[in-house]
């Protein structure tokens, strides 16, 4: 069992599986957030759906996969640094690391993680954390009002957009790389998975950017 967590193959498998957990979590999150583009009531209904017992159980599991992904990413980067010096992202096929995102996954991960902490203070601390504390549902912060309050400040919106761009770059490489590690690594599927990676990453991040920009405009009464 220990070899699974310490062997080179085991580490890559853990990174791949937990990375896919992250993508599922982001797809769910983007879907709920996207409801705010329809109406305030649709967004509130989505947030109420997230409070259902089955979702309440699933979200911590997905979040745990996300946390393990972060821990292993930092651990692997540190061990690779010690073993290879500045050649931290050595791969068997150099063509797989010929783009900026592939070569800077740790940098992108740090940006994503740093702004994630900022994000948690805005939403998770005022909503999910309060639910875990047993605060009655009718006493929780209004999710739509919280959305407008957060993105009502222009520099916060800009910071979030920077986060979404970093997330997009991280996902475009991480998505296909995860499936590559899991065995979908023939010449036909690699090309397809890279295309799918860009499509999935773009959809997720465009929804997040749209929510941020529209909420900023509504909060400042530029649009109704």
Position 1 pLDDT exceeds 70: no
pLDDT of residue 207: 96
Q: Output the six-digit token pair for 11.
A: 């580490």
User: What is the pLDDT at residue 11?
Assistant: 62
19: nearest Cα among 181, 176, 174: 174
Read off the DSSP letter of residue 97: G
* Euclidean distance between CA atoms 12 and 14, whole angstroms: 5
| pLDDT above 80 for 160 | yes
Alpha-carbon span 175 to 198, nearest angstrom = 9
User: pLDDT at residue 128 above 50?
Assistant: yes
pLDDT in tens, 51-92: 777 776 776 776 777 777 777 777 776 776 666 654 444 444
Q: How far is CA 58 from the centre of its chain?
A: 16
Per-residue confidence (pLDDT) for residue 89, from 0 to 100 = 41
The per-residue pLDDT for range 87-122, each reduced to its tens digit, is 444 444 444 444 666 666 667 777 777 777 778 787
Q: CA 194: distance to chain centroid?
A: 18
Is residue 193 scored above 50 in pLDDT? yes
pLDDT at 154 over 60: yes
pLDDT tops 70 at residue 28? yes
Instruction: Give the ranges where 1-52 is alpha helix by DSSP (H).
Output: 2-6, 8-34, 40-50
Mean pLDDT of 127-142: 74
Q: CA–CA separation, 66 vs 185, rounded Å?
A: 24
The 3-state DSSP composition of the chain as helix, strand, coil percent (nearest 5) reads 80, 0, 20
**How many C-alpha atoms does 219 have within 13 Å on its Cβ side?**
20
Across the chain, mean pLDDT equals 77
| pLDDT confidence of residue 109 | 73
pLDDT at res. 125: 73
- What pLDDT does 34 receive? 96
Alpha helices in 134-186 (DSSP H): 143-151, 154-181
State the pLDDT at residue 102. Answer: 61
Percent with pLDDT over 70 in the chain: 75
pLDDT at 45 over 60: yes
């Amino acid at each position: 069992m220990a070899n699974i967590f310490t062997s080179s193959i085991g580490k890559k498998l853990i990174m791949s599986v937990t990375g896919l957990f992250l993508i599922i979590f982001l797809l769910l999150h983007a879907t709920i957030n996207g409801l705010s583009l329809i109406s305030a009531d649709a967004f509130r209904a989505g947030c109420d759906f997230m409070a259902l017992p089955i979702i309440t159980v699933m979200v911590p599991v997905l979040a745990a996969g996300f946390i393990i992904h972060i821990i292993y990413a930092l651990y692997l980067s540190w061990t690779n640094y010690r073993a290879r010096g500045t050649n931290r992202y050595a791969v068997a096929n150099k063509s797989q690391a010929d783009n900026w995102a592939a070569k800077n996954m740790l940098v992108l991960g740090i940006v994503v993680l740093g702004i994630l902490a900022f994000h948690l203070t805005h939403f998770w601390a005022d909503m999910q954390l309060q639910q875990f504390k047993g605060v009655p549902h009718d006493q929780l912060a209004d999710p739509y009002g919280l959305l407008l309050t957060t993105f009502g400040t222009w520099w916060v919106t800009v910071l979030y957009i920077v986060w979404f761009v970093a997330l997009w770059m991280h996902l475009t490489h991480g998505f296909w790389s995860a499936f590559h590690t899991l065995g979908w690594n023939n010449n036909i599927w690699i090309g397809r998975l890279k295309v799918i990676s860009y499509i999935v990453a773009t959809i997720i991040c465009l929804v997040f950017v749209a929510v941020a920009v529209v909420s900023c405009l509504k909060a400042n009464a530029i649009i109704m």
